[in-house]
Amino acid sequence: VETVFVGGGTPSLLCGDGLAGVLDAVRENFTLAPGAEVTTESNPESTSPEFFERIRAAGYTRVSLGMQSAAQHVLKILDRTHTPGRAVAAAREARGAGFEHVNLDLIYGTPGETDADLDASLDAVLSAGVDHVSAYSLIVEDGTALARRVRRGELPAPDDDVLAARYERIDSRLEAAGLHWYEVSNWAASDAGRCRHNLGYWDGGDWLGAGPGAHSHVGGTRWWNVKHPARYADRVATGILPAAGWESLTAEERYTERVMLTVRLRTGLPLEDLDPAGRRAADRVIADGLAELTDDRLTLTARGRLLADGVVRTLLS
């Protein structure tokens, strides 16, 4: 096992001993490769110096903290429970416990967020001394309280032009501070700071998912577990595989996913991976200033990153 990632929900609620137990279970069933990356996501409010010291001693090498914003009113709209400043304090505690690799997550484009709010969030992130930042534009998911508020007209829907301007602002600030993009929504201070686990997804690797709703992928076959925790636990306890369904990807589906994921990486998409129609489409994308060729790899320009989904559609059309 090259990487382990404990995430989804709030794993830090398990406390240090619980997360140590999760990693012990991994070791009992698999062999960890030398230098394996072991990450846990954490809610800043359910962490402490003792928590970070315990999981560092257990073998975790990386921590990802959900910050979202430094503005209280933005956190309220996002229905996040932590207080402004706690994420930065948690990041410093993690570094103090010996973690070299610490990530902070930002969400931008929330209704009511101003440029000043975003700048304050970026100031806070950079003051924390982390070596990785993820920044995602707000997506209003159907069925959420936020979606209902937008539908009722209580809050405006995210504006695409505002989101683009915010992304450019984030990229400029992070690049100036020595954090360089390596995937459209991710920046790292060095190659070692990049999230190897996520790179495995983007590079089409294999992974096993444990837990309710977890997905797995091995050799072009993908399957997913039942979502309800009680049903998942019952199946595991009785020796029944908890998979709810599976699919075997066709060559066309694997090609689509290869293009969709790899083009988002700074290392780019090898031209040889494109079919003849894709290579012709790549010429159009380059002519439009959305990508450029670097060592026979198609890499997005700054403008292309803003329109990455459109680039993918063009390459696959």
Task: Residue 149: give its domain's CATH number.
Answer: 3.30.750.200
- Do 207 and 288 belong together in one domain? no
pLDDT at residue 140, as a whole number: 83
- Do 264 and 295 belong together in one domain? yes
Task: Give the strands of the sheet with 297-300, arranged side by side.
Answer: 269-270, 297-300, 291-294
CA–CA distance, 290 with 310 (Å, rounded to integer): 10
- Do 123 and 89 belong together in one domain? yes
- Do 152 and 265 belong together in one domain? no
Q: How far apart are the first and last CA of the chain?
A: 37
- Do 236 and 304 belong together in one domain? no
- Do 312 and 279 belong together in one domain? yes
Tell me the one-letter amino acid at 11: P
Residue 87 lies in a domain: yes
* Weakly modelled stretches of the chain, pLDDT under 50: none
Three-class secondary structure assignment of 150-176? HHCCCCCCCCHHHHHHHHHHHHHHHHH
Owning domain of residue 301: 255-316
Tally the domains of the chain.
Answer: 3
| Token pair 């073998």 in the structure block, residue | 59
- Do 101 and 188 belong together in one domain? yes
Residue 198 lies in a domain: no
- Do 209 and 188 belong together in one domain? no
